[in-house]
Structure 1
Amino acid sequence: MLTRKQLDLLAFIHKRVQRDGVPPSFDEMKLALDLRSKSGIHRLITALEERGFIRRLAHRARAIEIVKLPESLGGAARSGFSPQVIDGDLPDTPAAVANAPVHALEVPVMGRIAAGVPIEAISQVSHSISVPGNMVQGSGEHYALEVKGDSMIDAGINDGDVVVIRETSVADDGDIVVALVEDHEATLKRFRRAGTAIALEAANPAYETRTLRADQVKVQGRLVGLIRSY
């Protein structure tokens, strides 16, 4: 049996993982639950983990996986529920994905994306990987990118992970996007509008937010899933 706060936190984490492919930060959890400090979030996270609803990955920032859901959040109706974060070893072929779901789809890997200082624009397709069908629902094409850098580590995105991207040219505030800067630099950042400008926010205090003119930034896609590398 979960307390109301534990249930509210689990529901919030589940919603954000479904939307962004990564769990929210502790600060976002604190605000969502209207708590005064992050220590309360730590206690709730520990309680959820002890009850088997979530799993935390050691030595990984914001690496939380939802293991199961209670009936009130659709757990009973979603037998075999699997989180959006997939453990993997950056497979070279679709068949190499460990424990691939039955309903898997192939998406092309388009090279590397910078989660740090922007690098050259996305390269051509190198190979394909298999991802769960629920990661690529909705309209638009999908592709995958290998993450290089640690600027999004507090969003649970680590160097060497593979992100699954849905192609789109628009984004809402707070979305994690692939942004093409001045037509030659590609980077993975959180998107914000700052008046007439665009702010590309890192999820690591070691990196500064980049604020650019709107005509300098083109959204290439939005994050919908993450394949974890160990």
Structure 2
Amino acid sequence: MLTKKQLDLLEFIHKRLQRDGVPPSFDEMKVALDLRSKSGIHRLITALEERGFIRRLAHRARAIEILRLPESLGGGSEPQNAGTEAQGFSPTVIDGGQDRTPARTSARHSSAVELPVMGRIAAGVPIEAISQVSHQVTVPGGMISPNGQHFALEVKGDSMIEAGINNGDIVVIRETEAADDGDIVVALVEGHEATLKRYHREGSIIALEAANPAYETRRYPEEQVRIQGLLVGLIRTY
């Protein structure tokens, strides 16, 4: 039996994982639950882990995996990934081609798809924009929107570590030119530098916010920033 705060936190983490593909930071959890300190979040996380609803991944900042959901959130008694090994999968290969324009890959209903990795994206200061396929990566079909176009990027840097995004991770991006406040986006800055940051609009100014206190939020006139895609998933190799 979960307390209301435990249930509220589990629901918040679940929704953010579905939306962003990565869990919220402890600061975001604290604000969402209207708590005064992060110590309260640590206690709730520990309680959820002890009850078998979540698992914290060792040596990874803010890395949380949901194992199961209570019935009130649409889950059952079994872990969310139970039975997947027995079911197997039939991968559908999506041809990324050698087009220099990212995201020429249409999603299909399948258990796994291949996406073109377009090179590296900065999770730090912006780096030169990349637009050339380096290799392919297989991703779960559930990450892919049926009507969207997607591509993948390798993360370089640690500025998004508190959002659970580490150096060397592969991020799955849905192509879009629109974003809402708080979304993690691929932004093209001044036409030639690409970066992975959390998006905020401040009137006619676009703020690109890091998830690491060592990096400052960078602000640009809106005409200098073009959204290229929205984070929908993350692949990590251990």
Could you say whether these structures have the same fold, taking a TM-score greater than 0.5 normalized by the shorter chain as the test? yes
Q: Give the Cα–Cα distance (whole angstroms) in 2 for the partners of residues 78 and 177 of structure 1.
A: 33
Q: How far apart are 1:118 and its partner, in Å?
A: 1.0
**Do the aligned residues in 1 keep the contact of 2:68 with 2:78 (CA within 8 Å)?**
no
SS in 1 for 2:236: strand
Aligned partner of 2:196 in structure 1 is: 188
Q: Give the Cα–Cα distance (whole angstroms) in 2 for the partners of residues 184 and 172 of structure 1.
A: 23
Aligned partner of 1:157 in structure 2 is: 165
Q: Please, what is the CA RMSD of the aligned residues?
A: 2.0
Q: Give the Cα–Cα distance (whole angstroms) in 2 for the partners of residues 71 and 105 of structure 1.
A: 31
CA-to-partner distance for each residue in 1:18-59, whole Å, 9 max, x for gaps? 001111111111111111211111000001111111111122
SS in 2 for 1:134: helix
Alignment of 1:1-230 (within 5 A): 1-76=1-76, 80-81=80-81, 103-230=111-238
Unaligned runs of 5+ in 2: 83-92, 95-109
Q: Max radius of gyration: which structure? A: 2
Q: Give the Cα–Cα distance (whole angstroms) in 2 for the partners of residues 172 and 16 of structure 1.
A: 14
CA-to-partner distance for each residue in 1:35-86, whole Å, 9 max, x for gaps? 121111100000111111111112211111111111211113997448xxxx
Aligned partner of 1:98 in structure 2 is: none
Structure 1 residues 78, 47: closer, same or farther in 2, change over 3 A?
A: closer
SS in 2 for 1:229: coil
Q: Give the Cα–Cα distance (whole angstroms) in 1 for the partners of residues 194 and 212 of structure 2.
A: 18
**Do the aligned residues in 2 keep the contact of 1:147 with 1:163 (CA within 8 Å)?**
yes
Q: Give the Cα–Cα distance (whole angstroms) in 1 for the partners of residues 136 and 25 of structure 2.
A: 30
**Do the aligned residues in 2 keep the contact of 1:111 with 1:145 (CA within 8 Å)?**
yes
Q: How far apart are 1:229 and its partner, in Å?
A: 2.9
User: What amino acid sits opposite 1:70 in the alignment?
Assistant: P
Aligned partner of 2:86 in structure 1 is: none
Q: Which moved more, 1:72-81 or 1:128-137?
A: 72-81
CA-to-partner distance for each residue in 1:156-186, whole Å, 9 max, x for gaps? 0000000000000110111000000111101
CA-to-partner distance for each residue in 1:96-145, whole Å, 9 max, x for gaps? xxxxxx71111111110000111111231122211111101243201110
Work out the number of aligned pairs and report it.
213
Aligned partner of 1:99 in structure 2 is: none
Query: Normalised by the size of structure 1, how large is the TM-score?
Result: 0.87
Structure 1 residues 80, 203: closer, same or farther in 2, change over 3 A?
A: closer
Unaligned runs of 5+ in 1: 83-92, 95-101
Q: Give the Cα–Cα distance (whole angstroms) in 1 for the partners of residues 139 and 76 of structure 2.
A: 24
User: What amino acid sits opposite 1:187 in the alignment?
Assistant: T
